[in-house]
Amino acid sequence: MATSTDAPPAASLSGLTLSLERDGVRSDVLRGIDLEIARGEIVGLVGESGSGKSVLALALMGLLPHRSHPEVGGAIRVAGVDMVHGRAEELRAVRRNELGVIFQDPMTSLNPTMRIGDQVTEASGTSEESLRLLTAVGIADAELRFRVYPHELSGGLRQRVMAAIAVAGRPSLIIADEPTTALDVTVQAQVLDLLRELRDEFGCSVVLITHDLAVAGQIADRIAVLYAGRIAEVGPTGEVLHAPTHPYTVGLLRSRLSLGTPRDQELRTLRPETGTPAERMLGCAYHTRCPLAVERCRVEQPPLLDIALASAPGIGGEVALTADLPTDERLGPADHDRACWRTVDDVQGFIHDTANAAPLTSRVAPGPGREPAVRVTDLTVTFALRQNRRQRGAGSSAAREVRALRGLNLTVEPGEAVSIVGESGSGKSTLLRVIGGLTPATSGSVALAAGGAQMVFQDAGSSLTPWLTVGELLGERLAPLGLGRTENRARIDRALTSIGLPLSVARVRPAELSGGQRQRVALARATMIPPAVLLCDEPTSALDASLAASVLNLIREMRRELEMTVLFVTHDLSVARLMGDRIVVMTQGEIVEVGTSADVIERPEHPYTRRLLASVPEIGATV
Amino acid sequence: MSATGIVSPRLRMPGPVRARRRTGRGLSWALVALVALLTLLAIFARLLAPYDPVQPIGALSLPPGSPDHLLGTDSIGRDLLSRTLYGIQVSWFAALVVVVSGLVIGGIIGTLAGVAGGFIDNLLMRFTDLFLALPGTLVAIAIVAALGYNLQNTLIGIGVVWWPYYARIIRGEVKALASRPHVEAARLAGAGPARIVFRHVLPGVIPTAIVTASLDIGNVVLLLAGLSFLGLGQPAPAPELGADTARNLGQLLTEPWIPLIPGLAVLLLSLVANLGGDGVRTLIGGRR
């Protein structure tokens, strides 16, 4: 076993605890983390939002925000330097020489006022070296790109520039915090490949932080699953993905949507959090959501132990504590550890239990003979582009307008659900906005059945007016009906019940709700008076997998109940397959393929569709 | 200016952490309380003033600290404390009137321009630019000179040049808010133009407007005092801080308190107004 060769680990965390203060309230963000990142190793750090994974990245860099008054316990060592107590100059030296960072949004982490070349050179020293780096991260025409500004590059290229800066100082460790989340699937795959190549070429270690187990599965050697500031499970990638031993990992894998998820069943979700913070502090943090929780989970925190040890017979059997073990049995890179009181057999037995997947009741049959719900004819949309002199000089003079849609035809039958798939810039959102009447058509026509269109936006937070209460926002839809106060109230209550939120939410402002709850409210507003067609613009792309699944369930349920027509825009083929009877594939303002979901996924005809399909990160064997 | 604050999304943790001064919430409240105190002082000036401000009632040129005249008397025996209190009343309320009228006129023009866009936006904004391009103080002086010297005309004069600033800021805020998804969502939800403006856009402008206005009061106090210093205020016997400073400037070396006391009152007013504005900015800025 290549566990403990003479080379020290690139980074090590031992017994790391961290509490931060926000608005005067102190909360424990990390609660005892032991993790070692070996040289040349890629470790995937996976968790939902709020699991503490991004804070962990900041802690590794020694960049915890001062204003949150961090209190750190335990130790963080990067390249042998204590990142908790080290002097500021020491930490800076480590960041300069040993660490490289890639953030989620390269637009905000690149300096918009500096040329790309200068920014890379700042880190690399010489412009020759910068050119070499830019070429190394796969930027074609590096010399040309040298003089451009970040906004002139696409998202994928920007992320490559970030990568070039990250490796410029020959770091021993690259920290990549959700580096692919903001990117299209095809670009996502390239950036992940790039990370692996960087490791292979420069021999650095990588900490890949992500919410998606499959993304980590693509390149990580090991995966650590984080829940509520603790490691729930850590082990070699293959084992964690295919033989998970912690109920939370199992839950994540089960709620993850893939191209193999059964279409005719309700999507499986994790149980929503019901416990109070105090309950979570005691015992296993996951026990309030865990379907396998027993009494012991409520009162005693399970230690992180090797699965070979923890699978001792009987629930809560005699489990040896780490301290009693010979040292070579403690955490090592190739070990598979977990923190759970239930036996491995119990957890793995649960994997194959599909009892709680409720089948979907009868689908809405598209009613032939009726007028179509949406008919789009020869639709084109052209945006005039304002250019500055520099750009005009560089490009051809003809490129003054962008043709977002180029003569589209689409007919959607009443009651039908159609998914529109494409990458950013494909025109899919523009199509939706034209149908919703938010963007005017340049030519062509859109005809809607009586009832009009309603829309659910990608970012529910910004689609709800921040200073109005949920009740006021919902009531707005009813205003034209002139129903009177009591009837309005009753309708609002009914709408809240239908989306599974308590009635008290009516008095609350959007900021006080979670992302998933806000999207539910947006959905309730759109469907309070059933529209002829419900337009969904990537409503779940900002949500954690399990939350996304529950919102998708809700949309499917509402569609059935209200016999609604749904147009669902997404960049994710697995979501498109689940939400649509038909799938429309768009690229560069044109529809390149239309077909039933099964046909498009199983027998894609257009090369672009095939390329999209090949880029979807998958976990092979289904759980 | 804090005009962009409201549209910036809350920053996630990574990236440059902008240090926002979160300390001093208590201090901010104290500053706002100071403004409230000053307003009370202005409201009850007539009750607090020990004497008639216009009548000569004491010995001539008494220095401050005299038993019957706390701040002394001027060269014809009028009580300086009473004159200053009356002067504060006039200045303070005149400043409020100007700022409120600026908010109202600028608010209407800015909102119209921001909501309508296109030609109307251009027209209104070029009109606003015209006023911004003119030297405001000179225009105000010209207007007062043409209409005649009294307080009412001074207010009109300043009011005419004071709104363009607000129009610009409010237009910017309205435009930024109107392009946010929640406005599109409201439009889809069936809200009419009036409903969108009054429910989904304008409430978001209020914090910026209040902050801008509260920081601006001090400027108006100074300008008013300046105009009255130049003789463009109320006619002679009326107590006015700027005019009192100007008229008695000759005694600066012999009886310095006579011009200095009204001058210091102006300083106090604009200082308190600015501090209060800072307080309001911290309090409102922190919440949104």
Does A525 score more than 50 pLDDT?
yes
Q: Tell me if B217 is assigned to some domain.
A: yes
ipTM for the complex?
Answer: 0.73
Q: What are phi and psi of B154, to 5 degrees?
A: -60, -45
At A465, the amino acid letter reads: T
Q: What is the pLDDT of residue B11?
A: 29
**pLDDT over 60 (residue B188):** yes
Looking at the structure of chain A, the number of domains it has is 2
Interface size A-B, in CB pairs within 8 Å, comes to: 73
B19 contacts A67? CB cut-off 8 A: yes
- Average confidence (pLDDT) over A296-315: 71
Instruction: With beta carbons less than 8 A apart as the criterion, state whether A55 and A45 touch.
Output: no
Assess A478–B contact: CB distance below 8 Å, yes or no: no
Q: What is the predicted pLDDT for the residue at A325?
A: 43
The predicted pLDDT at position A303 comes to: 86
Output the CA angle A381-A383-A388, nearest 5 degrees: 165
- In a domain, residue A609? The reply is yes
Whether residue A426 is found in the same domain as residue A345: no
Neighbouring residues of A512: CB distance < 8 A, sequence distance ≥ 6: none
The per-residue pLDDT for range A395-429, each reduced to its tens digit, is 444 456 778 899 999 999 988 999 999 888 888 98
Indicate whether B110 pLDDT > 90. Answer: yes
pLDDT at A512: 85
Report residue B175 as tokens: 């435009």
- Whether B81 is in a domain gets the answer no
* Res. B232 pLDDT band, cuts 50 70 90: confident
| Nearest chain B alpha carbon to A106 | B15
Residues near A197 by beta carbon (within 8 Å), at least 6 away in sequence: none
Interface mutation target, options B13, B188, B284, chain A, most CBs of A under 10 Å: B188
A 74-133 residues with CB < 8 A to B:
103-104, 108-109
**What pLDDT is stored for residue A330 in this prediction?**
43
User: CA A211, CA A226: separation in Å to the nearest integer?
Assistant: 10
For residues A23-31, give the mean pLDDT. 82
* Nearest-by-Cβ selection for B14 from A103, A473, A476: A103
Structure tokens at B263: 């001058």
CB contacts, 8 Å: B189 with chain A: 454, 473, 476-477, 525-526
Classify residue B42: in a domain, yes or no. Answer: no
CB A170 within 8 A of CB A162: no
Asked if A415 and A543 sit in the same domain, the reply is: yes
- Closest of B102, B224, B240 to residue B163, by C-alpha: B102
Res A352: pLDDT: 64
A566 falls within a domain: yes
> Which residues in B have their CB inside 8 Å of a CB on A?
9, 13-15, 17, 19, 22, 180-191, 195, 199-200, 203-204
On the question of pLDDT at A268 being above 60, the answer is: yes
How many residues belong to chain B? 288
Q: Which runs of E-coded beta strand occur in chain B? A: none
Q: Give the residue-averaged pLDDT of B233-260.
A: 84
Domain tally, chain B: 1
Angle at A472 between CA A471 and CA A478, to 5 degrees: 95
pLDDT given at position A464? 92
* pLDDT tens per residue across span A434-485: 999 988 999 999 999 888 899 999 888 889 998 899 999 999 888 888 788 8
Q: What's the pLDDT at A1?
A: 38
Query: Residue B227 and residue B149: Cα distance in Å, rounded?
Result: 10
Pair A219, A313 in one domain? yes
Average pLDDT (B17-27) is 54
Distance from CA of A332 to the nearest CA of B (A): 30
In a domain, A392, yes or no: no
Helix and strand tally (H, E) in chain A? Answer: 25, 21
Please give the C-alpha separations between residue A275 and each of A220, A247, A288, A342, A381, in angstroms, as whole numbers. 32, 17, 5, 20, 50
Q: Which amino acid is at A470?
A: V
The pLDDT, as a whole number, for residue B245 is 85
- What pLDDT shows up at residue A311? 46
Which H or E run includes A428? Answer: helix A428-436
Q: Are residues A435 and A326 in the same domain?
A: no
Q: pLDDT at position A305, please? A: 84
Average pLDDT rounded to a whole number, residues B79-90: 89
Q: Burial level of A275, CB count in 10 A (0-12/13-18/19+)?
A: middle
Write out pLDDT tens, residues A582-607: 999 999 899 999 999 989 999 999 99
Whether the CB-CB separation of A64 and A73 falls below 8 Å is answered with no
Nearest in space to B164 (alpha carbons), one of B106, B97, B218: B106
Question: Which chain A residue lies closest to B207 (C-alpha atoms)?
Answer: A467
Contact A463 B184 (CB under 8 A): yes
Q: Are residues A605 and A512 in the same domain?
A: yes
Choice among A1-5, A604-608, B185-189 with the minimum mean pLDDT: A1-5
Whether residue A424 lies inside any domain: the answer is yes
SS3 A383: strand
Contact A109 B15 (CB under 8 A): yes
Q: What is the pLDDT of residues A64-79, one digit of tens each?
A: 888 888 899 999 999 8
Provide the pLDDT for residue A432.
93
Task: Dig out the tokens for A511 from the structure.
Answer: 């900021």
Please give the pLDDT value at position A169.
Answer: 82
At A448, is the secondary structure helix, strand, or coil?
strand
Kindly determine whether residue B13 and residue A65, on different chains, have CB atoms separated by under 8 Å. yes
Residue B18 has pLDDT above 70, yes or no: no
Residues of B in contact with A103 (CB under 8 A): 14-15
pLDDT of A387 over the 90 cut: no
According to the model, what pLDDT value does residue B256 have? Answer: 87
Confidence of residue A544 (pLDDT cuts 50, 70, 90): confident
Q: Does A22 touch chain B (CB under 8 A)?
A: no
Percent of chain A clearing pLDDT 70 (strictly above): 88
Amino acid A295: pLDDT: 86
A interface test, pick of B6, B8, B13 with most A CB neighbours within 10 Å: B13
Tokens 């009741």 locate to A361
Mean pLDDT, rounded, for A304-327:
53
Please list every residue in chain B whose beta carbon sits closer than 8 Å to the beta carbon of residue A109: 14-15
Higher model confidence: residue A355 or residue B240? B240
Nearest CA in chain A to B182: A463
- A582 domain residue, yes or no: yes
- Establish if B84 belongs to a structural domain: no
Does the pLDDT of residue A120 top 80, yes or no?
yes
At which of A302, A322, A351 does a domain end? A351
pLDDT at residue A396, rounded to an integer: 47
Does A257 map to a domain? yes
Asked if B85 and B238 count as a contact pair (C-beta separation under 8 A), the reply is no
Query: pLDDT tens for residues A169-215?
Result: 888 999 998 888 777 787 888 888 888 988 998 889 999 999 889 89
Three-state secondary structure along B97-131? HHHHHHHHHHHHHHHHHHHHCHHHHHHHHHHHHHH
Q: What confidence score (pLDDT) does residue A501 get?
A: 87
Measured in degrees and rounded to the nearest 5, phi and psi for residue A530 equal -55, 125
- Under the banding of pLDDT at 50, 70 and 90, the label for residue A356 is low
Mean pLDDT of B191-198: 89
Long-range pairs for A307-310: beta carbons < 8 A, 24 or more residues apart: A307/A235, A307/A245, A307/A336, A307/A337, A307/A338, A307/A344, A310/A245, A310/A338, A310/A340, A310/A343, A310/A344
- CA-nearest residue to B190 within chain A is A477
| Residue A195, domain CATH | 3.40.50.300
In a domain, B248, yes or no: yes
% of residues, chain A, pLDDT over 90: 28
> Are residue A512 and residue A583 in the same domain, yes or no?
yes
* Token pair listed for B70: 């706390």
Q: Would you give the distance in Å from CA B25 to the centre of its chain?
A: 23
Nearest to A360 by CA among A600, A558, A569: A558
Partners of B182 on chain A (C-beta within 8 Å) are 462-466
| Chain A residues near residue B14 by CB distance under 8 angstroms | 54, 57-58, 103-104, 109, 177
**Confidence at A319, pLDDT banded by 50, 70, 90:** very low
Q: Do B22 and A67 touch (CB under 8 A)?
A: yes
Q: Which of B270, B288, B278, B287 is nearest to B31 (CA)?
A: B278
> Which of A177, A436, A473 lies at the smallest CB-CB distance from B14?
A177
Interface test with B, best of A465, A519, A525 (most B CBs within 10 A): A465
Helix (H) and strand (E) counts in chain B: 11, 0
**Chain B residues touching A177 at Cβ < 8 A:** 14
- Which residues in chain A have their CB less than 8 angstroms from residue B22's CB? 67
pLDDT digits (tens, 9 = 90+) for A36-56: 999 999 999 998 888 888 889
What's the pLDDT score for residue A261? 83
Whether residue A476 lies within 8 A of chain B, CB to CB, comes out as yes
| Radius of gyration for chain A, computed over Cα atoms and rounded to the nearest angstrom | 26
Report d(CA B115, CA B110) in Å as an integer: 8
Cα–Cα distance between A149 and A94 in angstroms, integer? 28
The domain in which residue B245 lies consists of 91-287
pLDDT at A379 over 90: yes
Question: Mean pLDDT in chain A?
Answer: 83
> Does residue A317 surpass a pLDDT of 60?
no
Confidence band (pLDDT; 50, 70, 90) for A393?
Answer: very low
Please say if the pLDDT value at position B39 is more than 70: yes
Structural domain containing residue A574: 411-615
Residues A69 and A180 grouped into a single domain: yes
CATH code for the domain in which residue B183 is found = 1.10.3720.10
Residues of B with Cβ-Cβ distance to A462 under 8 angstroms? 9, 180-182
pLDDT of residue A357: 57
**pLDDT score recorded for residue A344:** 82
- C-alpha distances out from residue A63 to A79, A531, B15, B239, Å: 16, 49, 10, 60
